[in-house]
Structure 1
Amino acid sequence: MIHLDPEQVSAARQGDRAALASVVRSLQRPVYGLAMRMLAHPADAEDATQEILIKIITHLGTVRDDRAAGGWALKVASRHLVGMRKRGRVEAMRMTFKDFADDLETGLVAADEDQTETAITAIAIEEIKIGCTLAMLTCLTRSLRIAYVLGDIFEMSDTEAAEALEITAAAYRQRLSRARQQVTDFVQSSCGMVSQGAACRCEKRLTAAQDSGRVTLGAPAFGLAAPASDIPKLRRQIRTLEDGRRAAALMRSNPSFPTTVGDLVMAVLK
């Protein structure tokens, strides 16, 4: 999941600032992407990413094998995100899957077809899907959440994910199985992207999302300049999959979130 150039890592460890900047640029997007899926809020994810990058930079000299630096960085990031004392803003809501299902059934309004065809509204509907799937993950405990993120979203092997989390492969498989079952049960019953029988549809959440301030037309919270996916087409594609694969396909449909937090970290280090 995190790949670093061994030569750049070696040069950075020897004090080459340009190499260090390159390492940080290579780290910022995957670390931020992991933080987004763990914390479900851009500002919280940026704060956590900054803290993680500083930890990595500070301890880069302890890396014994430059070729293994990416795996080591993932361990640092995973340990930090699971062990954070402070809860993120979405985590602080302490939603259970039952709470979330009830929330999704509130305020559903059929969307105006002419409105949903505009680019601005399409981005907003995409953001509803992104925000919903990220918030859904916070219904899992952190240990189950990161197991699910590494395994089903980033598609790491049991061995790789277990190493990143510093647990046995058997323990990792148990966590992933529990997380996968909880997510699958939820989306099958409550998510219209996955199940035709579920009432919720991203476009039907638009009015409620605007009223609550979760979405603002023309001011995307996740940095989207254009819709990352065609929601109706994605819905059809996901429903063609086997039941057990639908939830993961939905989660993987989210974009690679852009960030410049690494530049901020390098600026602080001047």
Structure 2
Amino acid sequence: MIRFDAQQVVAAREGNRAALDAVVRAAERPVFNLAVRMLANRVDAEDATQEILVKIITNLGSIRDVEAAGAWAFKIACRHLVHERRSGAIEAMRLSFEGFATDLETGLSPLSDHGLNEIEAKLAIDEVKIGCTLAMLVCLSRELRITYILGDIFEVTDTEAAEILEIDPAAYRQRLRRARGAVTGFVTKSCGLVSESVPCRCQRRVGQALRVGRIAKGQSDLRAESPSVPSLDEIRSRIGLLERGRASAALMRSNPDFSSRVSELMSGLIDRCERRG
């Protein structure tokens, strides 16, 4: 969720540049983390985040209750990502759970076959795991995807989520059951982090990911620069203690808090707009 300082919102509406920058910074990370999970691609998520931030700052004057400005901004982000944002690179692949499961069974190979040093191997495994869990979400329709993200990843209450999505709470709960069932069914049958009997392992997917260009040796596209990112063994240990539905959600929540530089780009954009004005 987005949390604004009400006084900064008021000051930003009155033209205070420092307050406007603070509003942008407060919204950037929550919006970007939502966009990454909706679009499963950093570039697309950064573009969408910038689009959403422009909407937020250009509509600050329409807010009736500045104390509720964060909820208002988050609703704008959800509406944009579900109804207005054009399809991204991963969405354009039209992934389905059935097709994705088949893909995960292709090209499995030992990690030692690919000439990676210890640091490169850890980075590659993290990229595979994060990319795979994000791609799982894209197998859901946008309506089910946003429902699952709000309910099982961000742990927003049914009432709050229904209000954000502007639907009846009963309809929201029905969507969440459908989304949760689809994700749980998939990871139980296809993810080695959740089910020991499944052959797919993140480390065994590294070679195929390198071959098709989904990841690059020694480079990180998705992993956050954070020492708190859990290892696969830690994730597997936590998941092993949970029932299937909760295990699926725990897997999705194990992804890091993603960061971007969109607020810096926005600062430059605001400067140019002010000079033109």
TM-score tier, shorter chain, comes to over 0.9
Deviation (angstroms), 1:111: 2.2
Q: Report the residue type matching 1:139 in the other structure.
A: C
- Counterpart of 2:275? none
> For 1:22-41, what aligned pairs fall within 5 Å after superposition?
22-41=22-41
Distance, in Å, in 2 between the alignment partners of 1:109 and 1:62 is: 55
Give percent identity, aligned residues only. Answer: 55
Deviation (angstroms), 1:114: 11
SS of the residue corresponding to residue 255 of structure 2 reads coil
Q: Report the residue type matching 2:97 in the other structure.
A: F
Contact 1:35 1:81 (C-alpha < 8 Å) held by counterparts: yes
Distance, in Å, in 1 between the alignment partners of 2:129 and 2:18 is: 38
Deviation (angstroms), 1:265: 1.2
Contact 1:223 1:258 (C-alpha < 8 Å) held by counterparts: no
- Counterpart of 1:244? 245
Deviation (angstroms), 1:226: 6.1
- Counterpart of 2:101? 101
Distance, in Å, in 2 between the alignment partners of 1:232 and 1:186 is: 21
- Counterpart of 1:202? 202
Contact 2:95 2:139 (C-alpha < 8 Å) held by counterparts: yes
Distance, in Å, in 2 between the alignment partners of 1:233 and 1:67 is: 39
Contact 2:223 2:256 (C-alpha < 8 Å) held by counterparts: no
Map Cα deviations across residues 192-245 of structure 1 (whole Å, 9 max, x no partner).
Answer: 011111111000001001111111121111254467221122112212211110
Contact 1:193 1:235 (C-alpha < 8 Å) held by counterparts: yes
Q: Report the residue type matching 2:202 in the other structure.
A: C
- Counterpart of 1:234? 235
Map Cα deviations across residues 152-173 of structure 1 (whole Å, 9 max, x no partner).
Answer: 0000000111111111111111
- CA 193–116 in structure 1, closer or farther in 2 if over 3 Å, else same: farther
Distance, in Å, in 2 between the alignment partners of 1:169 and 1:264 is: 37
- Does structure 1 residue 144 correspond to structure 2 residue 144? yes
- Counterpart of 1:76? 76
Contact 1:127 1:215 (C-alpha < 8 Å) held by counterparts: yes
- Counterpart of 1:254? 255
- Counterpart of 2:212? 212
Q: Report the residue type matching 1:60 in the other structure.
A: L
The runs of 5 or more residues in structure 2 that have no matched partner are: 272-277
Contact 2:32 2:260 (C-alpha < 8 Å) held by counterparts: yes
Contact 2:38 2:137 (C-alpha < 8 Å) held by counterparts: yes
Contact 2:150 2:156 (C-alpha < 8 Å) held by counterparts: yes
Distance, in Å, in 2 between the alignment partners of 1:175 and 1:117 is: 44
Map Cα deviations across residues 20-62 of structure 1 (whole Å, 9 max, x no partner).
Answer: 1001001100000000000000000000000000000110110
SS of the residue corresponding to residue 44 of structure 1 reads helix
Q: Report the residue type matching 2:175 in the other structure.
A: R
Q: Report the residue type matching 1:42 in the other structure.
A: R
Contact 1:111 1:204 (C-alpha < 8 Å) held by counterparts: yes
Contact 1:44 1:88 (C-alpha < 8 Å) held by counterparts: yes
Contact 2:123 2:219 (C-alpha < 8 Å) held by counterparts: no
| Alignment root-mean-square deviation, CA | 1.6
Deviation (angstroms), 1:116: 7.3
- Counterpart of 2:58? 58
Distance, in Å, in 2 between the alignment partners of 1:112 and 1:201 is: 14
Matched pairs, number: 270
- Counterpart of 1:266? 267
- CA 85–155 in structure 1, closer or farther in 2 if over 3 Å, else same: closer
- Counterpart of 1:173? 173
Distance, in Å, in 2 between the alignment partners of 1:89 and 1:109 is: 26
